[in-house]
Amino acid sequence: MTTTKKVKAEKPFVHFMVDLETLGVIPNKNPVLQIAAVKFNPVEFEAIKREDGTIVAFEAFLPLADQLKLGRTPDAGTIKWWSDPKQAPAAAVVFKGVQEAPPLKEQLVKFADWITEQCRQPDGSLAESVFWAKPTLFDYPFLDGLFLESGVPSPFHFRKVIDMHSHIMSA
């Protein structure tokens, strides 16, 4: 008698390169100013594009005031870095965005919803999201902490986090 082994189909993955701008280097202490994410192909290391040629990406600024209420505090050295005249063009854009940003929880929900929508498969099921960053030891803890502190479920699981440095070194 032969037996047939049922093999569970592996859930598909959707990969996102994530980058944060912050006011410090301590993940659960310093504020996050901006989230940027790009859906990408990890084999070719190219951004996924829509039919019209635009890159599938997300960007949101996060309000500083909401994070200060959570007990996050800016790092003096990082404020000095942002104040450097060489940073002026980027700082003007980032801090204008931070000033005009909707509430923190709203921005995090918007980001989580975007990730979920990008993971939606043609049959309606959801693929698993994979978080990539350079380095993940910086970006992932900042973002994961904000989701936790804000009571918003994270669209990423710690087991699906890939560090670009490690990946590049292993190639």
Question: Of 113, 110, 138, 118, whose CA–CA distance to 16 is shortest?
Answer: 118
- Asked if pLDDT for residue 136 goes beyond 70, the answer is yes
Summarised one tens digit per residue, pLDDT across range 62-82 is 999 999 999 999 999 999 999
Q: What confidence tens digit (pLDDT) does each residue in 80-111 have?
A: 999 999 999 999 999 999 999 999 999 999 99
Asked if residue 6 has pLDDT above 60, the reply is: no
Q: How far apart are CA 30 and CA 67, in angstroms?
A: 8
Give the pLDDT score at 11: 77
pLDDT at 166: 72
Q: What is the pTM of this model?
A: 0.90
Distance between CA atoms of 95 and 98, rounded to whole angstroms? Answer: 5
Model confidence band, residue 164 (pLDDT cutoffs 50, 70, 90) = confident
